[in-house]
Structure 1
């Protein structure tokens, strides 16, 4: 597939490099086009005893939280996706569950009478989660800010290509930057919610079966074989 349509990876680093490496090993003509950059925020860790569990919906929370994360290491961590779980373990946390879908699904699965007080280490910009009977305390410890598209962006989207959207914010921004070029572009979203954020007008819009790179690239391969080129 290396001689086919470009595969454009828009997520921030270091995830961008990891996705590119996996895609390249599968033969994609892959291009790094990060549209966001992550940075740590100042935050004050609360008392771990005030909570039953820690919710992590992005690997950035574990990577960028800094030394304050160690004060919460006694809490079982619930991570969305394998990459987030891996980052949590690398930061010294004990992962009790790794969700295979999205944050809402994981929250639904983890809430119980024994897990009623949940600390959510999250980004400054985050989705709204429905908590049910649980008490969810969002605590931003990082921010993901938009950056100017790399110089090759316009040339790459001027012709048929497949783009990957790893978040709703990414999908929204890709849609704005693509404009009318959506008619000849295909998009693979990491979840149904991300696909909804991308809007209409794409040549093809696919949703990964699971919230991970392997599933996204499987959809990209399927688009290729269906002729989205």
Structure 2
């Protein structure tokens, strides 16, 4: 991609803002126009008998941190971005699976001693709690946020007629994007996706690429490939 080329960031804030900083540092124009919005739920956090916390997204970390002041429990994070979010919120003992939910399950099963509390989305993409229980790990979950769909701005939609690259971080964002593209085809749109599962709803696009691992650094590497 040419320096200064526009890159549409579809993930929800505040993560979208952090991604935009990285995109600009690479020399591209960052268009922050999320297809999803995060709303913190009024959840009750009960840490009685909990030995560790599990997070499958930075949004889960941010929501938990707003709802609870507890920072002493060890944390298992799905990937490096989630781990950094946990460290940024003051958790001192953070382990990253550097992968997906299945990798996180394996990490927890190998290292957890006691009940694990997962804090995440009201409608999660994967069932970590069920997977952990299937591995013999005592686990329970609490929904601390929900993700709502939002429409892109008319200004962003107007850019679909010209060459444009979009970064897509989740299957749900990909489904929302695909729905808009059925109404407004974009033959010049290039989609860079965080995983094969994220790319699946966008298979109708002429240019869809996904990372070899679900990591934002790998996703940004595709910008300069």
Q: Same fold (TM over 0.5)?
A: yes
2: CA distance, partners of 1:146 / 1:67: 22
Match of 1:86 in 2: 84
Secondary structure at the residue paired with 1:64?
Answer: helix
Match of 1:161 in 2: 164
1: CA distance, partners of 2:157 / 2:148: 20
Within 5 Å, give how 1:46-65 maps onto structure 2: 46-49=46-49, 51-65=50-64
Change (3 A) 1:94 1:101: same
Match of 1:141 in 2: 144
- 1:210 partnered with 2:213: yes
Count of equivalent residues: 218
Shifted more, 134-143 versus 160-169: the winner is 134-143
2: CA distance, partners of 1:184 / 1:67: 41
- 1:101 partnered with 2:84: no
Q: Any idea what the Cα deviations from partners look like across 1:145-176, whole Å, max 9, x if unmatched?
A: 11221221221222332111111111111111
Q: Any idea what the Cα deviations from partners look like across 1:159-209, whole Å, max 9, x if unmatched?
A: 33211111111111111112262543221111222222x242111221123
Secondary structure at the residue paired with 1:61?
Answer: helix
Secondary structure at the residue paired with 1:178?
Answer: helix
1: CA distance, partners of 2:52 / 2:142: 13
Instruction: Note the residue ranges of structure 2 that are not aligned, 5 or more in a row.
Output: none
Change (3 A) 1:219 1:104: same
Alignment match of 1:181 (pick from 185, 205, 214): 185
- 1:25 partnered with 2:25: yes
Change (3 A) 1:151 1:95: farther
- 1:152 partnered with 2:155: yes
Contact 2:36 2:150 in 1 (8 A): yes
Shifted more, 154-163 versus 90-99: the winner is 90-99
Q: CA RMSD in A?
A: 2.2
